[in-house]
Chains A and B, each alone.
Chain A
Amino acid sequence: SQQGEEDPQALSIQEGENATMNCSYKTSINNLQWYRQNSGRGLVHLILIRSNEREKHSGRLRVTLDTSKKSSSLLITASRAADTASYFCATATNQAGTALIFGKGTTLSVSS
């Protein structure tokens, strides 16, 4: 079983539309983090949501967390071509150590 699985695997939208990506996980978590990765580049931290939080906002990003369903969603509003990238969720468990467990990611393509 995999921790932190995103869906869809790929998403294509037009500029100005909203993009929603979902992440499911299997074990208890301390927090869940979303990252962006442009092709062949590093990981850029977007937002962290703790297990006792339900929603967080950062600019055009909105993240929700439902611990009862073990799921999270990332919403990017009014998307831009520059948002084209892969998006990963990563969970930090409640166990000792805080290694992040990443999902396979959603590849977002925003066309102008």
Chain B
Amino acid sequence: EPEVTQTPSHQVTQMGQEVILRCVPISNHLYFYWYRQILGQKVEFLVSFYNNEISEKSEIFDDQFSVERPDGSNFTLKIRSTKLEDSAMYFCASIGFRLGDEQFFGPGTRLTVL
């Protein structure tokens, strides 16, 4: 069964460093999302991406964040200068052909900023 994959599963970085989190959405899916979940808290929407551009973003997604789909399969989230409060689990998700269908989530990348 097709699934969303994410790498790495766990990333440890120093404050101020740049990190890139990678996702491979389900093949032929058209809409892509990043969410994050701070430990013990609820899942929060960061950004959605369609047709090679951002379609929606939350207040969390400030200038430190960027997304890219560099090729036909990868979808990346970059944090330019990490802060302690960026420590969280980051989830990638994708949707197929129609808006409103199930969002399939990847297993997540746990980011720890020291």
A residues contacting B by CB (< 8 A) are 30-31, 33, 35, 40-45, 48, 50, 88, 90, 92, 96-105
Q: Could you give, for residues 82-114 of chain B, a 1 whenever the CB lies within 8 Å of some chain A CB and a 0 otherwise?
A: 000000010101010001111111111010000
Chain A residues with CB under 8 Å of B55's CB are: 96-97
Complex Cα spacing A33 to B45, Å: 15
Q: B75: which A residues are within 8 A, CB to CB?
A: none
Closest chain A residue, CB of each to CB of B50: A97
Which residues of B are in contact with A by a Cβ distance under 8 Å? 31, 33, 35, 41-45, 48, 55-56, 58, 89, 91, 93, 95, 99-108, 110
Q: Number of A-B pairs whose CB atoms are under 8 Å?
A: 63
Partner of A102, one of B31, B42, B100: B42
Interface residue from B95, B99, B108 paired with A41 (Cβ < 8 Å)? B108
